[in-house]
């Protein structure tokens, strides 16, 4: 009952005029960013975070949370209308969404995607409301060893479940952690890793510099390279009669929607998994459990509904560890977590004790953001289709400019803008060689939190790593983390060693 009370208080915060405005604005911006081919929630949140210094932290996170949701809805629009995923999270939506559009049923696919997103978002927020407070309560008892073990687990999921090249994933994690260590050593206060003795490194490398570099500049360079050819925008006929007809057909996909939502939510909680694999898995499950699997890929409505419900549910899922444990469940939530540090909040379970207004305002805003995203999405379908026809040569320079001013704003130092450009260019060249970028962004956010907990733990144990194994909660977490790291490593070397012998 206490939860309902807190949630109602949260609605009191979320429905204040400023916050309501933030929700509507955030959802609209998110839909716009999601609909742009190549740009997703992480790009929008990274580039626009510096702009939120204008409003108080609660309004800022509500705005960014609404962008996150909006982008999940928006991704479907270009998947269906262009056949190009609007964001990686909407890849699975192209499988059946595009065939529907080619059959002249684009409106049906768009409405199905929006409705499924709404169902996925709502079911997952309800699950979130139920799980978050007990989990935060439980996490209140965590000490430094438990915190460090959890962070190890977060990184281990990238190695074990990420699916990218393993040495490149490990490299990406480590370089992010090292960049997070630049600046003053937190314990002795001595300057550390001041490259070429440039004083700009004294204040450390702000995570936003890396995030905007990679997800702003690097991503745009990537999109400019990939989007060389011309694309064809499908036509959508929208009328009241067809919409009502469409909702009737959607009734038959309820089971798929619920399945996608629950699956997406739980996959989203894992740091390395998130919305993209969640939606692909939901598509897979929908196809294998269907009575007519052969109709998938040819325009089956269930094939649109499953991934769209899952990617929205996953975005809520990824907020669960971020808010309760201080461990982000996705690159987007990593940036939100970094934002919380900038706003002067201490991420972790104490938020539920000290910052009730912030936490419950955010949770309540997610309910509202879902509703607004549905209304704005369906109400303005023609507008979002028009956006798809906007030439990229107008969007790109504007995003570049936002990156430059956004890189400057947090520290007011041109040094950071140069660094951001370097990260963008190097990140782009590394991404072309399959180096995953998300682990580095997660690492630079978590690094400054992980190092003190590691050093404190070792101080408690007088230098023995046994402390991570012999405590009742830290122990099992460390073991799972080690298994996740070692299993693929063993497989990796088994696979490579025999073929090396003949040489």
Q: Is 198 in the site for other proteins (CB under 8 A)?
A: no
DSSP structure string for 71-132: HHHHHHHHHHHTSS-SSGGGHHHHHHHHHHHHTT-HHHHHHHHHHHHHHHHHHHHHHHHHHH
- Whole-angstrom CA distances from 224 to 37, 41, 218, 220, 464 are 11, 18, 10, 6, 50
Considering only 148-156, 178-186, 248-256, 362-370, which stretch makes contact with other proteins by CB under 8 A? 178-186
Site for other proteins in 371-400 (CB under 8 A): 391, 393-394, 396-398, 400
- Shortest distance, CB of residue 388 to other proteins, whole angstroms? 17
Tokens of residue 7, six digits: 């949630």
Return the number of the residue (238 or 489) whose C-beta is nearest other proteins. 489
Measure the CA–CA gap between 279 and 311, rounded to whole angstroms.
5
Return the number of the residue (334 or 450) whose C-beta is nearest other proteins. 450
Among 245, 408, 473, 475, binds other proteins (CB under 8 A): 408
Return the number of the residue (120 or 216) whose C-beta is nearest other proteins. 216
Element (H, E) at 192: strand 191-192
Return the number of the residue (381 or 421) whose C-beta is nearest other proteins. 421
Measure the CA–CA gap between 268 and 310, rounded to whole angstroms.
9
- Shortest distance, CB of residue 84 to other proteins, whole angstroms? 19
Return the number of the residue (11 or 418) whose C-beta is nearest other proteins. 418
Q: Is 498 in the site for other proteins (CB under 8 A)?
A: no
Nearest CA to 25 out of 77, 72, 60 is that of 60
C-alpha angle 209/210/212, rounded to 5°?
65
Q: Is 29 in the site for other proteins (CB under 8 A)?
A: no
Q: Is 193 in the site for other proteins (CB under 8 A)?
A: yes
Element (H, E) at 410: none
Q: Which residues pair with 183 in a beta bridge?
A: 192
Return the number of the residue (225 or 346) whose C-beta is nearest other proteins. 225
- Shortest distance, CB of residue 478 to other proteins, whole angstroms? 17
Q: Could you identify the residue written with the tokens 């939530």?
A: 333
Dihedral sign, Cα of residue 335, residue 338, residue 342, residue 345: positive
Element (H, E) at 182: none
DSSP-derived secondary structure letter, 379: H
Considering only 56-64, 117-125, 130-138, 455-463, which stretch makes contact with other proteins by CB under 8 A? 455-463
- Whole-angstrom CA distances from 286 to 163, 302, 427 are 22, 7, 36
Return the number of the residue (4 or 503) whose C-beta is nearest other proteins. 503
Q: Is 167 in the site for other proteins (CB under 8 A)?
A: yes
Among 125, 286, 369, 417, binds other proteins (CB under 8 A): 417
Q: Exposed, middle or buried: residue 12 (CB in 10 Å: 0-12, 13-18, 19+)?
A: middle
Site for other proteins in 200-239 (CB under 8 A): 217, 220-221, 224-225, 228
Q: Is 356 in the site for other proteins (CB under 8 A)?
A: no
Q: Is 7 in the site for other proteins (CB under 8 A)?
A: no
- Whole-angstrom CA distances from 385 to 77, 114, 353, 377 are 8, 14, 44, 11
Measure the CA–CA gap between 356 and 71, rounded to whole angstroms.
27
Q: Is 418 in the site for other proteins (CB under 8 A)?
A: yes
Among 141, 412, 472, 494, binds other proteins (CB under 8 A): 412
- Spatial CB neighbours of 316, under 8 Å, sequence gap ≥ 6: 121, 124, 125, 127, 128, 265, 268, 366
Q: Is 458 in the site for other proteins (CB under 8 A)?
A: yes
Considering only 19-27, 74-82, 186-194, 281-289, which stretch makes contact with other proteins by CB under 8 A? 186-194
Among 163, 254, 434, 486, binds other proteins (CB under 8 A): 434
Return the number of the residue (73 or 148) whose C-beta is nearest other proteins. 148
Q: Is 165 in the site for other proteins (CB under 8 A)?
A: yes
- Shortest distance, CB of residue 393 to other proteins, whole angstroms? 3
Q: Is 21 in the site for other proteins (CB under 8 A)?
A: no
Is 175 within 8 Å of 183 (Cβ atoms)? no
Query: Which residue ranges make up the site for other proteins (CB under 8 A)?
Result: 51, 53-54, 165, 167-168, 170-171, 174-175, 177-178, 181, 185, 187-188, 190, 192-193, 195, 217, 220-221, 224-225, 228, 391, 393-394, 396-398, 400-401, 404-405, 408-409, 412, 414, 417-418, 421, 425, 429-430, 432-434, 451, 454-456, 458-459, 463, 496, 499-500, 503
């Amino acid at each position: 009952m206490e939860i309902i009370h807190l949630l109602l208080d949260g609605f009191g915060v979320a429905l204040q005029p400023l916050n309501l405005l933030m929700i509507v604005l955030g959802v609209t911006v998110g839909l716009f960013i999601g609909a742009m081919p190549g740009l997703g929630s992480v790009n929008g949140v990274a580039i626009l975070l510096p702009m939120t210094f204008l409003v108080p932290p609660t309004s800022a996170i509500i705005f960014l949370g609404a962008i996150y949701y909006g982008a999940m809805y928006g991704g479907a629009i270009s998947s269906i209308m262009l056949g190009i995923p609007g964001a990686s999270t909407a890849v699975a939506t192209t499988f059946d969404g595009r065939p529907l559009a080619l059959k002249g049923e684009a409106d049906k696919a768009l409405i199905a995607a929006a409705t499924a997103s709404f169902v996925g978002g709502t079911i997952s927020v309800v699950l979130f409301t139920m799980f978050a407070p007990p989990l935060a309560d439980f996490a209140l008892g965590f000490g430094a060893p438990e915190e460090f073990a959890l962070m190890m687990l977060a990184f281990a999921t990238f190695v074990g479940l990420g699916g990218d090249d393993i040495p490149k994933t490990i490299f990406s994690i480590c370089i992010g952690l090292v960049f997070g260590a630049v600046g003053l050593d937190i314990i002795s206060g001595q300057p550390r890793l001041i490259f070429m003795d440039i004083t700009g490194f004294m204040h450390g490398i702000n995570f936003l510099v890396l995030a905007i570099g990679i997800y702003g500049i690097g991503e745009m360079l990537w999109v400019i390279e990939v989007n060389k050819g011309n694309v064809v925008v499908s036509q959508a006929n929208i009328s009241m009669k067809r919409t009502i007809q469409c909702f009737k057909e959607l009734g038959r996909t309820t089971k798929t929607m619920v399945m996608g939502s629950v699956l997406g939510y739980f996959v989203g909680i894992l740091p390395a998994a998130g919305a993209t694999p969640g939606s692909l898995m939901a598509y897979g499950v929908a196809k294998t459990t269907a009575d007519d699997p052969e109709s998938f890929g040819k325009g089956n409505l269930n094939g649109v509904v499953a991934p769209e419900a899952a990617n929205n549910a996953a975005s809520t899922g990824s907020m669960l560890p971020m808010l309760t444990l201080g461990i982000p469940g996705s690159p987007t939530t990593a940036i939100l977590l970094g934002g919380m540090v900038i706003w002067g909040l201490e991420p972790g379970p104490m938020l539920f004790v000290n910052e009730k207004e912030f936490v419950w305002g955010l949770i309540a805003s997610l309910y509202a953001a879902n509703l607004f995203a549905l209304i704005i999405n369906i109400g303005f379908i023609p507008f979002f289709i028009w956006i798809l026809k906007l030439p990229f040569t107008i969007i790109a320079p504007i995003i570049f400019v936002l990156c430059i001013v956004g890189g400057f704003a947090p520290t007011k130092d041109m040094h950071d803008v140069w660094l951001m450009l370097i990260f963008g260019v190097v990140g782009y060249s590394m991404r072309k060689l399959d180096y995953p970028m998300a682990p580095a962004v997660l690492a630079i956010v978590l690094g400054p939190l992980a190092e003190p907990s590691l050093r404190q733990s070792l101080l408690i144990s007088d230098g023995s790593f046994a402390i991570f194994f012999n405590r009742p909660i830290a122990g099992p977490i460390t073991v799972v983390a080690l298994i996740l790291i070692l299993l693929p490593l063993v497989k990796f070397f088994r696979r490579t060693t025999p073929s090396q012998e003949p040489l």
